[in-house]
Structure 1
């Protein structure tokens, strides 16, 4: 295909007519391996007279082909011609096309340099000296650099010289800004390269002779406060704060790279480097103390404090340093709380927070530090106030005597919300969450005000992120933090339901807006709030019911990934607002739930894991609406049985069978009649009994692993036994009776084991002192800490609520041969909580004995000695349970 024909095909590949587009794509696929194809693509890409859309499509096609098909072992063909031309072309292209060729160059270098492409480095070094070719040279130098030594030696001095010439240019064009960015990325990558070298013995040995120069003359100066910091501090303190707490900024920050290097060096090579680095820091502290105010090395002191804070985990665990930490804080950190230098006041607060959890021999020192941090909330400098809030979180967590904070709590909260009105920062919200969690119900008088302030802060964050794309990430994170803090407040007042109606009007506007597609980024947090409001409020208001259609619409449209989260509030609506769920026809809640569940369960593209919440919701309907939803028995059974035939995962199969068990408990006669009407009764019961008998290699049950699963099955099977003889033939009755006996015994054993485990866990907790640090860690032990991983945003509160509602996280059981038992210690909250399966079973058998003695006698005669012993044992256990239940009721009445 010649050049002109190729251009025509590329243009056709952009056609809006499907037939033309498919034909063009087929032609490209057919001719892409022909000689000169890549060269012609390059010619079209660089041809300024060609349509830009065609050039862009050609560049994408070129990149994709090279990525898949360029290999050092392939025949040379036109590869050498591509290598000869592509370097020159990349310097001539606009950014849109340059990005595509850049990816291709990376592939070429990885495959061909240096063996097949020895001319690469000379071309780069030559063009670094040519002012009109700088970008092309820079582009290559940031790619994979092998062999590294030669490239660094040849390129880095020239890069530094170019950077020095570019930086002074006033009002630089975008091309110059791109060049500066590329050079900075190269040197930034170099620092992170050093971090990775620390962990590799062979590379570290090469670096070791220069380690002091690297550590003290390159790395440490990067950790010190500098002119750029001071300018930003003075001219735009809000931006200074944003950059300091922005994880995206950290990815490109030389200071963060330097901190990472020090941490990794001390962690992996601590024996040879920790002592001399600490000695270096101590010398800075001493020089600072000895110098007069006019010549104190303030910026070096700032860097030294940053280093001490960065190494806090190691120093807190390592002798002889951990014994000196309190003295170090008193001598070198606390004095800076009153420094006339703002950035040192901020750094003192931050370092104090890093060490708030150490064991202070003198509690007055802890109190002094905490009060200094609290005072920092009123500092005239914004960054000091923000760092003080961040540090306060650690002091609140470590504080053993809340009387230190309690008297000033109202003023503390006022300062918080003043700061939240100035700064969008999720770390502020983290601290507020910690205070709320620590004081619990004591926050009740402030709950409404806190929620109002957090709601206002949330709207500000949303407005700023929508108005300014550059702060979108920061605003969104802060907005999530506001919602999470609201959930923490709601949890803290969960025993005070009368407060929820007062808070509801403040939260409803947020919930209404964010339950739509506008709230996809905060949907989980919003659902958590809805869950609290619908679970703990005395009643579910009509305004809260107005959120149901929004959740249904989202579930039907885009929110399937949140189905497990939506499950919780939907359960609350059905279980705590049953009358409204049953009676209301505009909107028709029953019908909307059916439409959503049937759509999900009939979608052939759904994975088993996506469907799991559906049978749980069907269970909620039949357990809570007993006697009121007969008309839904057949539709839901049809839906369940169809899904059961397609289901693969054992856990989903168990849940679907439990839907049938729940409908049997709801109305055994109607359910059994429906199964016969559908012609599936024998199929379903054979499957059910087969699943009950299935065990793993270890001997444990493969299905119905939770206590709840077993209980639901027991209630369903027992309900079948209650049917008259004309519904259940004798052989079927015998099979059901024996299966129920065995399941009840298994359930009894599991309940007893859970009780033992809970008691043992309670004893362990009583004997655990969470405030003591481990005193026995060796000084130079290699350590990997997971402490900070706990800051990852997660809906812990929602999980607690799930468990309160009876929804444990589901466990994929892909490995049916696993010997790991499934344990659950949840106490389900549902109408069947008050039903004891042992008493229900014995009462059902006794009713049969009274109404149909011959049938009862016939059943008993079919039992061998083992089953008779099981039946007698369960009868005895049922009597014991009756006594226990009466005792529990009496104790509960007396407690009131």
Structure 2
């Protein structure tokens, strides 16, 4: 197509007639794979005489094509346009000039194009790029310098998160950073928007380089002083008032506030990541820098921040919410270092009273959001501490850290909160300030863990609840009703001396669950969860369970909060028997909720590339909510798996949810769905026709998009084979699908050894459960295993090595004659026997031992003269191998029983542990504050130290026991079931040994000719054990009820 025709197509995409628009978009889609189309699009983008909306449409098309096709695909892909190298060179030669001339609407798209090119081609395939950038930055034209800064920022973005291969970055820092710092210094006194945009780019460039590392040059004071000065000048610079919007949301987006935010982010990063000695591991390379920084630079930053806060408190300056958050983050870090804390301590009371407290009070903005969008209010406030950009969350974190480690701050906080509550209590109705009371309760709630650890303070909390919290459960202000519920939740570990107070709390929460206001209902539901640790509350709740679950489901349908699903999940687990009468109805409601969320998720997938951060957060919330509902459904199934009739109804009810998830390949939900399939196929020890239809869907999904989920699929696939073996045996198509999954797992380059472990377990299940019915797959299975097992050194993962060996052992047990023939024909016999026999003592689990015994016994069933030469020459070693496994079997069984016993105890301990989390009074100790003359080393610092030590231990080194490490023992899989579980190896050995003696005396003679007296005695012991076991089995069978 000529360029004029292409221009007209872009023009048509803005036609008011939707049919014309659609035709143009379809035609453009068809042209994507046409050579030269990108160059023509670029020419239209760069043509200043073109209409602006046409240039914009062409730039979007250009951007999308570059993002899709610039990279080289890993495999041949006929749908992937291969952009000619000449076209790539043309684009790279012109992209920066295009940016210079482009209007803002078009420039945004071109910046994305540049970033895509650099991430794929820089530095090797874009060697002249930096020279061009340097030329742009040296221009006297601010517009050209602006593009130079954009170009520098995009190349730095390539290295933003790179820890290795930073040499080109170090060169860029040395070459460009003195220059852009000078540019910034020349702009800092300007008041125009263009200066703000350029300063923002300069600070972003600096921040990109310090994200994961701080170069030696940047650690040098020759660099740090001018950059630090520039950053502090930006912090202290009053924002020019001319042309500023009045709306706070618009004001935050203004270039000057964006520039300020990036200056704050740079200073925060320097201190929190590299400049605070107490936050660094002892052997950190940044320790010398940190000692200098905390002495000479951090005090200046603190002073500048405190000055801005002072202006904000006095209402002489506005501070954007993001910057307030960054200031709170910095103050939190300042609590830890004793030197910086000594500078902050005189301001602590002011900061608590006038900086933190106002941010925790219910604001007019909160009220507007509550009224306009209660769902969004819940998202914003319920998980507030997970919002890293929330100023109130930062204020809470700052307060909590300060109160935890510095005693005077803790007492100042309690004094302030108590004064506010007392003032509210004593004030007349007209003069009460409910918003301040809310802030005081937020403060106390934030310190709940600390308060409960102080027995003297914990004892004072009951009167506080009676006087200041319980009354607000019926407050005229909805936000105070919600806050009262939240307080009950935060202090759920508090034991009331007066049990009537517990009843008041429960009754109040139940009433709030009936509230008309969504945020109140949600906080009430979340507070009910920890209340069920009290037996009296459990009993009181039982009559209301149907109502409670209905409300939880209704809220989950209305709002995607995964914590609500966690409440449902726990209630289902705790009240399983009480929910049984309406379990099917509950399951149907859960299914409908799940499908509603999934359909909402599915609608957003097509436009995923264009989602902004808010939309991505919403999509994430929906995913988490769907996962929570799935988990609840799984818990319900597990709690009712002993009731087959109910399970059948649950299976029917949940079939649409299972089918929707698999058909739409919603990968984030596969984990939960496969657990549900596992439960259904395992609980009844039979596979229904519905579940066989699901099997076909699993296979289709696996082949199309789910190779990476073989580990999650394996339990279900094993159930299909184990409990549906009649179908597997009779249906060749099902056999083929199972084998094809195994073959794909063993061959795919996308999968690793951990996935191939699952493949081997699948093959084992097929061979063990379908003996005599899958002969044609024995050879192909062995061939795929030996691709990895020969040579055995190719396998580095212990479990894969063992599972691969055991597939061959399973094949021997399945049919020794076929297997030995295949091994011999392919020259694998000697190699395999060597690997197997040298590793017998490493196959330490009960299943390993029993499998070795049955495989070796299977070999014994083949007469010696029909054995391969390698076996004939070492025939007596077969008996040695059997005896060796029997010698280790009792120990393995004892270990397994001990583990089962430990697991049983572990269950009880886990339950107790969960109660301890809810009721940890026994473990509470008096919290010790850190002396003001000491540094604070919190858990985060301890974890960093631990990671540093681990990294030191794991540095590459020569290992003398490398071969030995390949055979590390594996732990018992307590939930693993197989046909061997019901097989008595003693009886099997006795029968095989006796048959060999009677039917193949020559083979028997060869086998036993070298046995020692000890071995003969041990064989007699095995026979005696077999006899005893046979008698027990007969008695058990006789005592069993007749069908």
The TM-score with structure 2 as length reference comes to: 0.72
Deviation at 1:447, TM superposition (A): 1.3
Which residue does 1:34 correspond to in 2?
Answer: none
| Cα distance in 2 between the residues matched to 1:568 and 1:415 | 34
Indicate conservation of the 8 Å contact 2:188/2:233, yes or no: yes
Select 2:484's aligned residue among 334, 342, 348.
348
The 3 A distance-change label for structure 1 pair 849 and 819 is closer
Which residue does 1:697 correspond to in 2?
Answer: none
The 3 A distance-change label for structure 1 pair 48 and 152 is closer
Select 2:388's aligned residue among 251, 254, 264.
251
Indicate conservation of the 8 Å contact 2:778/2:819, yes or no: yes
The TM-score with structure 1 as length reference comes to: 0.83
2:245 counterpart of 1:166: yes
The 3 A distance-change label for structure 1 pair 544 and 669 is same
User: What are the equivalent positions in structure 2 for 1:610-759 lying under 5 Å apart?
Assistant: 610-645=755-790, 646-692=794-840, 701=842, 704-728=843-867, 731-759=873-901
| Cα distance in 1 between the residues matched to 2:179 and 2:1026 | 83
The 3 A distance-change label for structure 1 pair 825 and 523 is closer
| Cα distance in 2 between the residues matched to 1:259 and 1:628 | 66
**Deviation digits for residues 580-618 of structure 1 (CA, Å, limit 9, x no counterpart):** 222235xx1111222232233133554212211111011
| Cα distance in 1 between the residues matched to 2:660 and 2:828 | 45
Which residue does 2:595 correspond to in 1?
Answer: 459
Which sits farther off after the overlay, 41-50 or 387-396?
41-50
The 3 A distance-change label for structure 1 pair 888 and 87 is farther
Indicate conservation of the 8 Å contact 1:417/1:453, yes or no: yes
| Cα distance in 2 between the residues matched to 1:815 and 1:749 | 25
User: What are the equivalent positions in structure 2 for 1:578-589 lying under 5 Å apart?
Assistant: 578-585=725-732, 588-589=733-734
Which residue does 2:713 correspond to in 1?
Answer: 566
Which residue does 1:446 correspond to in 2?
Answer: 582
| Cα distance in 2 between the residues matched to 1:643 and 1:426 | 43
Indicate conservation of the 8 Å contact 1:839/1:881, yes or no: yes
Deviation at 1:836, TM superposition (A): 1.9
User: What are the equivalent positions in structure 2 for 1:287-436 lying under 5 Å apart?
Assistant: 287-399=423-535, 402-436=538-572
| Cα distance in 2 between the residues matched to 1:270 and 1:780 | 9
Deviation at 1:138, TM superposition (A): 4.0
| Cα distance in 2 between the residues matched to 1:481 and 1:827 | 24
Which residue does 2:273 correspond to in 1?
Answer: none
2:667 counterpart of 1:520: yes
Indicate conservation of the 8 Å contact 2:722/2:769, yes or no: yes
Q: What SS does the aligned partner of 2:532 have?
A: helix
The 3 A distance-change label for structure 1 pair 504 and 763 is closer
**Deviation digits for residues 743-782 of structure 1 (CA, Å, limit 9, x no counterpart):** 2222221211232354466568778955453345232178
Q: What SS does the aligned partner of 1:316 have?
A: helix
| Cα distance in 2 between the residues matched to 1:247 and 1:170 | 19
The 3 A distance-change label for structure 1 pair 324 and 103 is same
Indicate conservation of the 8 Å contact 1:45/1:56, yes or no: no
RMSD: 4.3
Gaps of 5+ in 1: 30-36, 71-75, 694-700, 790-812
| Cα distance in 2 between the residues matched to 1:157 and 1:142 | 18
| Cα distance in 1 between the residues matched to 2:176 and 2:1016 | 81
Deviation at 1:293, TM superposition (A): 2.0
| Cα distance in 1 between the residues matched to 2:751 and 2:159 | 40
Indicate conservation of the 8 Å contact 1:167/1:180, yes or no: no
Query: Bigger relative contact order, structure 1 or 2, given CA contacts below 8 A and separation 6+?
Result: 2
Deviation at 1:95, TM superposition (A): 13
Select 2:739's aligned residue among 582, 586, 594.
594
Which residue does 2:754 correspond to in 1?
Answer: 609
**Deviation digits for residues 818-857 of structure 1 (CA, Å, limit 9, x no counterpart):** 9986432505322211102233223322332333456445
**Deviation digits for residues 787-825 of structure 1 (CA, Å, limit 9, x no counterpart):** xx9xxxxxxxxxxxxxxxxxxxxxxx9995499864325
Deviation at 1:173, TM superposition (A): 13
| Cα distance in 1 between the residues matched to 2:962 and 2:384 | 36
The 3 A distance-change label for structure 1 pair 244 and 832 is same
The 3 A distance-change label for structure 1 pair 417 and 815 is farther
User: What are the equivalent positions in structure 2 for 1:792-803 lying under 5 Å apart?
Assistant: none
| Cα distance in 2 between the residues matched to 1:271 and 1:248 | 23
Which residue does 2:284 correspond to in 1?
Answer: none
The 3 A distance-change label for structure 1 pair 854 and 611 is closer
2:629 counterpart of 1:575: no
Indicate conservation of the 8 Å contact 2:332/2:398, yes or no: yes
Which residue does 1:133 correspond to in 2?
Answer: 195
| Cα distance in 2 between the residues matched to 1:852 and 1:680 | 26
User: What are the equivalent positions in structure 2 for 1:11-26 lying under 5 Å apart?
Assistant: 21-22=84-85
Deviation at 1:455, TM superposition (A): 1.3
Which residue does 1:47 correspond to in 2?
Answer: 101
**Deviation digits for residues 868-894 of structure 1 (CA, Å, limit 9, x no counterpart):** 454344444444544665676678769
Which residue does 1:222 correspond to in 2?
Answer: 359
| Cα distance in 1 between the residues matched to 2:432 and 2:967 | 66
The 3 A distance-change label for structure 1 pair 643 and 723 is same
Indicate conservation of the 8 Å contact 1:466/1:472, yes or no: no
Q: What SS does the aligned partner of 1:829 have?
A: coil
The 3 A distance-change label for structure 1 pair 64 and 122 is farther
Deviation at 1:160, TM superposition (A): 5.2
Deviation at 1:445, TM superposition (A): 1.3
Q: What SS does the aligned partner of 2:827 have?
A: coil
The 3 A distance-change label for structure 1 pair 528 and 178 is farther
**Deviation digits for residues 443-465 of structure 1 (CA, Å, limit 9, x no counterpart):** 22121111111111112223334
Deviation at 1:226, TM superposition (A): 0.6
| Cα distance in 2 between the residues matched to 1:235 and 1:711 | 67
Indicate conservation of the 8 Å contact 1:141/1:155, yes or no: no
Deviation at 1:679, TM superposition (A): 3.3
The 3 A distance-change label for structure 1 pair 544 and 80 is closer
| Cα distance in 2 between the residues matched to 1:877 and 1:736 | 21
| Cα distance in 2 between the residues matched to 1:294 and 1:868 | 99
Which residue does 2:218 correspond to in 1?
Answer: none
| Cα distance in 2 between the residues matched to 1:300 and 1:656 | 67
Deviation at 1:384, TM superposition (A): 0.2
Deviation at 1:245, TM superposition (A): 3.7
| Cα distance in 2 between the residues matched to 1:85 and 1:67 | 24
Q: How many residues align?
A: 837
| Cα distance in 2 between the residues matched to 1:85 and 1:437 | 69
| Cα distance in 2 between the residues matched to 1:481 and 1:373 | 23
Select 2:654's aligned residue among 493, 497, 507.
507
| Cα distance in 2 between the residues matched to 1:353 and 1:609 | 42
Which sits farther off after the overlay, 365-374 or 568-577?
365-374
Which residue does 2:344 correspond to in 1?
Answer: 207
| Cα distance in 2 between the residues matched to 1:318 and 1:417 | 38
2:622 counterpart of 1:486: no
| Cα distance in 2 between the residues matched to 1:522 and 1:294 | 52
Indicate conservation of the 8 Å contact 1:379/1:385, yes or no: yes
Which sits farther off after the overlay, 308-317 or 58-67?
58-67
| Cα distance in 1 between the residues matched to 2:1039 and 2:330 | 67
Q: What SS does the aligned partner of 1:251 have?
A: coil
Q: What SS does the aligned partner of 1:726 have?
A: helix
The 3 A distance-change label for structure 1 pair 234 and 181 is farther
Deviation at 1:233, TM superposition (A): 1.3
**Deviation digits for residues 220-267 of structure 1 (CA, Å, limit 9, x no counterpart):** 211111110011112222221232245797122111111121222233
Which residue does 1:795 correspond to in 2?
Answer: none
